[in-house]
Amino acid sequence: MAAFLDGSDPAGVAAQIGVACREVGFLYLVNHGIPAALIEAAMAEARRFFALPEARKMAVHIARSPAHRGYFPPFAENNDPANSRDLKEGFDLARDLPAEDARVRAGKPLHGANLWPEALPGFRPVIEAYYAALMRLAGQLMEAFALSLALPRAYFHPMLDEAMGALRLLHYPPQPADQPAGAAVTGTGAHTDYGCLTILAQDAVGGLEVQNAAGAWVAAPPVPGAFVVNIGDQMARWTNDVFAATRHRVINRSGRERYSMPFFFEPNYDAVIRCLETCRAPGEAPKYPDVIAGEYLLARFDATFGHRTGQTKAITP
């Protein structure tokens, strides 16, 4: 990403990114401008959070948040209905908006305050600094996407000025080392992501697998200093599947604890995801109908989180 960030060859970097998005849907991103020390600090804070007693974590349970923020325990999410629920716990946060913000006062879905754990010094400032860095990088990647799609570099800007980037901290308990591929219990079931793009930091344990065009599962092991970036459903819809939203999953066969931090970048809640003219031939019909970005996200959350549809016990105040 260096030659894009310093301006020496943005078109060349965008072209390389475009090839990966068209042919694979996943890529490793290096020289991205986010200091390794900040990534490691955020990962350390994630470990501290998940080491808290269960009661401390449940105090910020996601069901307490009207904006889909906070902690969820193991088996709270199910990304693949063909398998059992996901063997992982997580903590979700996004743009932190005060109660007096006009969007919050209006009750706009997915807009509001984060739920921060109490008595965990240093957690919030580190996580907020990391979140801000990821928001900047995601915006730069969207500019690269635009160039690779024969669009003006700033094409997506009007749809990203209130982008709904969401950072998720994840902890995967160990699974049996001899668990076969396709076993019923996965850390995260096979799925495609919901938004425009995902930026993933993972520890050295591994476990991420990507499904290739032949239907085989291929490991995406950690690469020091690199993020894993992949395309989400909304970008696939925007590009008429020119950019591929690729199925992926996590199976932690290491016998060790695994930690990762995916950042999901979505456009403004009210952005219309409509097939780009540069992604279809004259007269060709779009593969997908138009959708409102925020409404699409809500539908996916409702399908994967039991607490949103009453399938899990309510959390009392």
Question: What are the helix (H) ranges across the chain?
Answer: 2-5, 10-23, 36-50, 54-58, 102-105, 123-148, 233-238, 293-304
- 72, 128, 103: which is closest to 307 by C-alpha? 72
3-state secondary structure at position 292: strand
What is the pTM (predicted TM-score) of this model? 0.92
Task: List the pLDDT tens digit at each of the 317 positions of the chain.
Answer: 999 999 999 999 999 999 999 999 999 999 999 999 999 999 999 999 999 999 999 999 999 999 999 999 988 777 776 666 788 999 999 999 999 999 999 999 999 999 999 989 999 999 999 999 999 999 999 999 999 999 999 999 999 999 999 999 999 998 765 555 555 568 888 889 989 999 999 999 999 999 998 999 999 999 999 999 999 999 999 999 999 999 999 988 888 999 999 999 999 999 999 999 999 988 899 999 999 999 999 988 787 665 555 543 333 22
The domains located in the chain, with CATH, are 2-308 (2.60.120.330)
What is the CA angle 287-292-293, rounded to 5? Answer: 95
273 close to 296: Cβ distance less than 8 angstroms = yes
CA dist., res. 293 & res. 299, Å (int): 10
CA 78 remoteness from chain centre: 15
- 127, 156, 151: which is closest to 140 by C-alpha? 156
- 312, 243, 306, 295: which is closest to 108 by C-alpha? 295
Residues in the chain: 317
Helix and strand numbers (H, E) in the chain are: 8, 13
